[in-house]
A and B are shown apart, each in its own frame.
Chain A
């Protein structure tokens, strides 16, 4: 018992030594301001060390959420890992196992007090040739009945608003999909057999077409019998060929993903759609990407 008490005492006395001063954060802020390039991102380690958000320059996106260690961060060619490895139970080995594959450290880590900043080339980077949530303003949005009848959802400069309940609109928004902050297209299922459709032109060929989405907040976890499966997908507008589809059953949590290669050829128009028989709590947020070839990974991460 005395030994335990001694260990506890040492633990308590050492805890203040793990704190990060504002000056340390300012130092890191300075490094990032001078050295970060457009497209870079900051990844927090451990994931919960979010105080850094106050200091990281706002143009550099910060990733730090439960599960962010495993995020490919494929939109970013370079990733700055801002770590506090001395924190109790920081789990550096687990972090490295999840993060390092495909990443290459650029230079040595730099220290500012208890902060450690390391730059990595992101071998999992995939250039975005098309992002639906960025192209949303030019989309044609409508409600589509089973017989093909369309009801337009005019763009008001901010959102494509459909007739009906106020949640029926399409616009990019920040939402949580299983703890992860996603800037995605809000597309609430309209109910019945109707589909909410956003039609996009110019999706480039010879890319990987990727659909990522999910039900926001806690709604994915609900599994009452009256809830319906949310279906969302992408189809070729000209041929009506289904390209990608996800069926998210009640209770299925997490970000859902589907992808396929688009063959070489002309850019195409695609319809991104969502439907659910019972629209209750089917609050879908999704995005569609056309991804180019990634950076060549010279070697596995160090």
Chain B
């Protein structure tokens, strides 16, 4: 199969069911999940942005001044605003206005909606490309990966960008047969840019497919090939002219002279009008090639426009502030990370890190099918390249290549030794749904082979009768692991690692992001002195406030440091051992009062001043 196809009615209903199931499960379990360091920052930003929307409603002229915008939007401007806007507006509606939800749940609601999209979209793409059984396996298994389920609970961007990445790829694939999806692809890409900077890589991954499709469909159509060259020529000319501007003005001059009426914007207008106009004409000559290129054009045009429009912070100084944002991520600092007994502090990082970390954190009964599925795809792709081996395999279709490449794209990007390696596995989540689909393919093939054998004895045996127990067997260990580790998702390690104890012996990062502290908050509430000071170590100051306003931490307690506190909750990080010994020194004891020990591994260690 090369071109996209619409989902059937049953598939749409099943996808909706999966979305509802995911959304309800996440909502029902969120109250146990602590506030990660980033999350409280986004809560605060969301509140600030929502206040601005209120001001926009009340006094629009003042709200639209740069001073008012900066006041509201300057906080956390290192990330685009879409998700934080949704978090803030949801909080405004469901907590502040209606009073239906506690603050954290109200903030998180849009994250559940986005996260629940992943199983639904995975099913739609998987079942269209490989069949419903494969799609279902991929969809059901996605949230059974404990670290993925944990991240799906958070008002952060990692799961939303995985959903948006998947949505853009799905739209791109559907656009191969449907012009409306070509337009939507550009819109979704714009929204993906508004979600997180991972989206910047999407055009580089999708463009080769668009070009390949356009090229192969115009082989026998010289007039369509001419139009193809014209469109490509326009893109190339604009790129060259932008390059000349950079060279002639210098990077700083290019940035300084980029304003509304400048060659920079003129070039963008030429690209937008020219590309869409040419594709309109090409569509009259040869629709398949025009359809193939349409997503590229809409992504190039709608992406920047939507990105600009969604973020008021950019409205008065789009170029400088976008440049700052991009530079922030291009020069992101490195946080220390414990890996196989060594503290990784700075690049170059081990090339194999992402693969090893994935192997040790995805439940092994799901990881093995992922590897099997991807290797089967890669093997077919390689063998079909050579004349001698071509006949041995079925050549992967364009859609299969799309899935296969996206399954490793984010992994390859993060594997670069110079890219920051902190943050567990969340930075390559966009790969995981695609790996899940390939796992589904491997499992389905296995089920089909099994059915074929069993039908010798039971001729009326259905695939479902075999797939159901196989799915159960493969997913059950993951489910048990998820239930056992929940809500401490950043601590999960797979069977291959030997679970948490095995990972501790291997010298892997025990936890991160501070959310495991919820385990000891009840003890602190019970034992901390009235108006006492509490050192919650890695817990962000805003999270301290959030624990209090969500009723998880006594409101009379004050945040303190290791030396001036009455109670300390040290979070076991190998790079922070000094902090625990500071507490020993300050408190005059080395004996913890209590702690969180997951499968005996120390996670949170609580000390009480004597």
Contact across chains for B473 and A9 when beta carbons are under 8 A apart: yes
Contact across chains for B578 and A175 when beta carbons are under 8 A apart: yes
Contact across chains for A46 and B505 when beta carbons are under 8 A apart: yes
Taking CB as reference atom, which chain B residue is nearest A178? B577
> Any chain B CB within 8 A of the CB of A107?
no
A1-44 vs B: 1/0 string, CB under 8 Å? 11011111101110110111000000000000000000000000
> Any chain B CB within 8 A of the CB of A254?
no
Contacts of A175 in B (CB 8 A): 578, 581, 585
Contact across chains for B506 and A89 when beta carbons are under 8 A apart: yes
Task: Give the interface residue-count category, chain A.
Answer: 35 or more
A58 to B589 CA separation, bound complex (whole angstroms): 8
> Any chain B CB within 8 A of the CB of A88?
yes
Contacts of B575 in A (CB 8 A): 218
Binding-face segment, A49-57, A117-125, A133-141: A49-57
Q: Which of A12, A16, A65, A174 contacts B585 (CB 8 A)?
A: A174
Contacts of A176 in B (CB 8 A): 577-578, 581
Contacts of A163 in B (CB 8 A): none
Given contacts A18-B600, A174-B581, A175-B581, A1 and B501 within 8 Å (CB-CB): no
Contact across chains for B345 and A58 when beta carbons are under 8 A apart: no
Given contacts A8-B363, A89-B501, A89-B502, A15 and B599 within 8 Å (CB-CB): yes
> Any chain A CB within 8 A of the CB of B601?
yes
Count A-B contacts at CB 8 Å.
134
Given contacts A15-B484, A48-B601, A58 and B590 within 8 Å (CB-CB): yes
A261 to B592 CA separation, bound complex (whole angstroms): 40
Given contacts A7-B495, A179-B574, A54 and B592 within 8 Å (CB-CB): yes
A54 to B590 CA separation, bound complex (whole angstroms): 9
> Any chain A CB within 8 A of the CB of B341?
yes
List 9 tightest A-B contacts by C-beta distance, closest first: A88-B498, A8-B477, A217-B578, A89-B502, A88-B502, A5-B365, A89-B498, A176-B578, A89-B505
Contact across chains for B600 and A174 when beta carbons are under 8 A apart: no
Chain B residues within 8 Å of A, Cβ to Cβ: 336, 341, 343, 345, 363-365, 368-369, 372, 442-443, 446, 470, 473-474, 476-477, 480-481, 484, 495, 497-499, 501-502, 504-507, 574-575, 577-578, 580-582, 584-585, 589-595, 597, 599-602, 605
Contacts of B574 in A (CB 8 A): 66, 179
A88 to B503 CA separation, bound complex (whole angstroms): 9
Contact across chains for A2 and B505 when beta carbons are under 8 A apart: no
A9 to B363 CA separation, bound complex (whole angstroms): 10
22 residue pairs from A and B, CB less than 8 Å apart: A1-B365, A1-B369, A1-B474, A2-B473, A5-B365, A5-B473, A7-B364, A8-B363, A19-B600, A20-B600, A48-B601, A50-B602, A53-B591, A54-B594, A61-B590, A66-B507, A87-B501, A88-B499, A90-B501, A174-B585, A179-B577, A217-B578
Given contacts A1-B372, A87-B505, A88-B498, A58 and B581 within 8 Å (CB-CB): no
> Any chain B CB within 8 A of the CB of A221?
yes
Contact across chains for A12 and B495 when beta carbons are under 8 A apart: yes
Q: Which of A4, A49, A66, A216 contacts B365 (CB 8 A)?
A: A4
From residue A192, how far is it (CB to closest CB) to chain B in Å?
26
> Any chain B CB within 8 A of the CB of A242?
no
A217 to B577 CA separation, bound complex (whole angstroms): 7
A84 to B599 CA separation, bound complex (whole angstroms): 12
A51 to B595 CA separation, bound complex (whole angstroms): 8
Contacts of A181 in B (CB 8 A): 577, 580-581, 584, 590
> Any chain B CB within 8 A of the CB of A91?
yes
Contact across chains for B443 and A12 when beta carbons are under 8 A apart: no
Which of B343, B470, B495 has the most CB atoms of chain A within a 10 A radius of its CB?
B495
A48 to B505 CA separation, bound complex (whole angstroms): 7
From residue A91, how far is it (CB to closest CB) to chain B in Å?
6
Given contacts A1-B368, A54-B592, A88-B499, A48 and B578 within 8 Å (CB-CB): no
Taking CB as reference atom, which chain A residue is nearest B443? A1
Contact across chains for B477 and A11 when beta carbons are under 8 A apart: yes
Given contacts A1-B474, A54-B592, A65-B577, A8 and B495 within 8 Å (CB-CB): yes
A89 to B500 CA separation, bound complex (whole angstroms): 10
A49 to B345 CA separation, bound complex (whole angstroms): 25
A92 to B122 CA separation, bound complex (whole angstroms): 44
A68-90 vs B: 1/0 string, CB under 8 Å? 00000000000000001001111
From residue B348, how far is it (CB to closest CB) to chain A in Å?
15
Contact across chains for A221 and B601 when beta carbons are under 8 A apart: no
Contact across chains for A62 and B499 when beta carbons are under 8 A apart: no
A230 to B443 CA separation, bound complex (whole angstroms): 59
A265 to B592 CA separation, bound complex (whole angstroms): 46
A108 to B497 CA separation, bound complex (whole angstroms): 31
Given contacts A179-B577, A221-B345, A13 and B600 within 8 Å (CB-CB): no
A87 to B493 CA separation, bound complex (whole angstroms): 14
Contacts of B602 in A (CB 8 A): 48, 50-51
A46 to B505 CA separation, bound complex (whole angstroms): 7
A91 to B502 CA separation, bound complex (whole angstroms): 10
Contacts of A2 in B (CB 8 A): 446, 470, 473-474
Q: Which of A54, A217, A221 contacts B591 (CB 8 A)?
A: A54
> Any chain B CB within 8 A of the CB of A173?
yes
Taking CB as reference atom, which chain B residue is nearest A4? B368
Contacts of B605 in A (CB 8 A): 50, 53
Taking CB as reference atom, which chain B residue is nearest A56? B591
Contact across chains for B495 and A11 when beta carbons are under 8 A apart: yes
Taking CB as reference atom, which chain A residue is nearest B501? A87
Contacts of A61 in B (CB 8 A): 590
A191 to B597 CA separation, bound complex (whole angstroms): 43
From residue B607, how far is it (CB to closest CB) to chain A in Å?
10
From residue B597, how far is it (CB to closest CB) to chain A in Å?
4
Contact across chains for A221 and B343 when beta carbons are under 8 A apart: yes
Which of A16, A49, A56 has the most CB atoms of chain B within a 10 A radius of its CB?
A49
A77 to B596 CA separation, bound complex (whole angstroms): 33
A5 to B502 CA separation, bound complex (whole angstroms): 18
Contacts of B507 in A (CB 8 A): 66
Which of B484, B590, B592 has the most CB atoms of chain A within a 10 A radius of its CB?
B590
Taking CB as reference atom, which chain A residue is nearest B341? A66
Contacts of A7 in B (CB 8 A): 364, 495
A13 to B484 CA separation, bound complex (whole angstroms): 10
Taking CB as reference atom, which chain B residue is nearest A62? B590
Contacts of A6 in B (CB 8 A): 473
A101-145 vs B: 1/0 string, CB under 8 Å? 000000000000000000000000000000000000000000000
A153 to B473 CA separation, bound complex (whole angstroms): 70
Contacts of B585 in A (CB 8 A): 173-175
Contacts of B577 in A (CB 8 A): 65, 176, 179, 181, 217
Contacts of A54 in B (CB 8 A): 591-595
A264 to B288 CA separation, bound complex (whole angstroms): 96
Contacts of B584 in A (CB 8 A): 174, 181
Contact across chains for B505 and A19 when beta carbons are under 8 A apart: no
Taking CB as reference atom, which chain A residue is nearest B473? A5
Q: Which of A8, A50, A84 contacts B364 (CB 8 A)?
A: A8
From residue A67, how far is it (CB to closest CB) to chain B in Å?
9
